Amino acid sequence: MLERLLVPARRALMQVLACGLVALSYAAEAKEAVSASDDPVLEARVLAIAEELRCLVCQNETIAASHADLAVDLRKQIRLQLQQGQSQAQILDFMVARYGDFVLYRPPLKASTVLLWVGPFGLLLVAGGVLVVNVRRHRRGVQTEEWSQAQAQKARALLDDGSGSP
Amino acid sequence: MKKFLIPLAIFLVLVGFLAIGLGLNPREVPSPLINKPAPAFSLPLLDAPEQKLSAQDLRGKVWILNVWASWCVACRIEHPLLVEFSKMGVVPMYGLNYKDKRDDAIGWLNKFGDPYTRSLSDTEGLVGIDFGVYGVPETFVIDKEGVIRFKQIGPVTPEVLRDDIIPLVRKLGA
């Protein structure tokens, strides 16, 4: 398991190092080393879509942020499909068809995800209900509690005693 | 008595959830491709790049697609098992050589043995994307109608082979 995480990570590291070296050696001649296309508008759209998608190799990163090989390939794929005139929705569908809802950082509301969306509010309702019932019961308990004859006498004695002395 | 049982019950339910959670593999993403037609592809053969093989050519037989690469260390773990399995001749196994260099791949097969009926070169990893590959090695079982029936993410273990792959392949009538 760890292997599958480490191998791409190690490769990514090597690539970053390699890119760094290349960038250093060409720094005098060119500024851009790894930029994929010259169109900033297109790149912004690619990033916007990539930020909606989870990288399956490093599962807590978006495809926009990840250096994993697969993320690089998928960004390339997004760019290509945008160039072909596909919409954002079409590209997200393309990803879901291959990797499942898991790739979406915002899972859709459907039968299998209802618990995910409604669960927290359901729990809140239950907790609120328990609270209301408990508070009511407590209040009623205080009001209806009756003193025994002995307790009443004891209290009266104490009060009388207090008022008697100056 | 009753008051004491309620937290205990909640605790036990929690323990139940956590116990199930411990048994799950968080890296295993359920594939939406199971019981869906395998994506169409047409790729050059590893040992004869001028020849191509397509998904269409494999219609009518049960086959296994194993995604591998010479740079993939985990592939080496499952490889001896695949070599053994191929000798049984139960089902044809095709290799998808994923994002690899041709020379490296051929060298790797010469060194560790070649269990594949044929290997296909997916140099750009595009067919890999179509198959939803995200952690090499991955293994798919595809039926006679070209539908994906099983997917293993990560190395095939003897247990998976014995309990899942071989029974399934037999059931599908390889």
Query: Residues A70-112: pLDDT tens digits?
Result: 999 999 999 999 999 999 999 999 999 999 888 999 888 888 8
Confirm whether B122 is domain-assigned: yes
Query: What tens-digit pLDDT sequence spans chain B (174 residues)?
Result: 677 888 999 999 999 999 998 888 777 777 789 999 999 999 999 999 999 999 999 999 999 999 999 999 999 999 999 999 999 999 999 999 999 999 999 999 999 999 999 999 999 999 999 999 988 899 999 999 999 999 999 999 999 999 999 999 999 986
Q: B129 and A98 in contact by Cβ < 8 A?
A: yes
B71 inside 8 A of chain A by CB: yes
For B78-96, the pLDDT digits (tens) are 999 999 999 999 999 999 9
Whether B21 is in a domain gets the answer no
Q: Which CATH architecture has domain A2-108?
A: Orthogonal Bundle (1.10)
Chain A residues contacting B, CB < 8 Å?
1, 3-5, 7, 11, 56-57, 59, 69-70, 73-74, 77, 96-102
| Nearest Cβ partner for B29 among A56, A73, A77 | A56
Among B129, B138, B157, most A C-beta atoms within 10 A, so best to mutate, is: B129
Asked whether the whole model's pTM tops 0.90, one would answer no
Contact of B152 with B142, CB cutoff 8 Å: no
For testing contact with chain A, the best of B14, B27, B134 (most A CBs within 10 A): B134
Residue of chain A minimizing CA distance to B154: A1
pLDDT value at residue A115: 87
Please state the domain count of chain B.
1
| Residue B11 within any structural domain of the chain | no
Do the chains contact at B27 and A59, CB–CB below 8 Å?
Answer: yes
Task: Give residue A8's pLDDT.
Answer: 54
For chain A, which residues make up each domain, given as ranges? Answer: 2-108, 113-164
B77 part of a folded domain: yes
Q: Classify residue B20: in a domain, yes or no.
A: no
Residues of B in contact with A56 (CB under 8 A): 29, 134-135
In a domain, B147, yes or no: yes
Range of the domain at B157: 33-172
> DSSP characters for A32-89?
-SS---S-HHHHHHHHHHHTTBB-SSSTTSBTTT--SHHHHHHHHHHHHHHHTT--HH
In sequence order, the 6+-apart residues with CB closer than 8 A to the CB of B45 are: B51, B52, B53, B118, B119, B120, B121
Structure tokens of A80?
């290509």
pLDDT value at A58 more than 90: no
Please report the pLDDT score of residue A23 as a whole number: 43
**What number of CA atoms fall less than 13 Å from residue B25's CA on the CB side?**
9
Is B139 part of a structural domain of the chain? Answer: yes
Mean pLDDT score across all residues of chain A: 79
CATH no. for residue B74?
Answer: 3.40.30.10
Q: Is residue B46 part of a domain?
A: yes
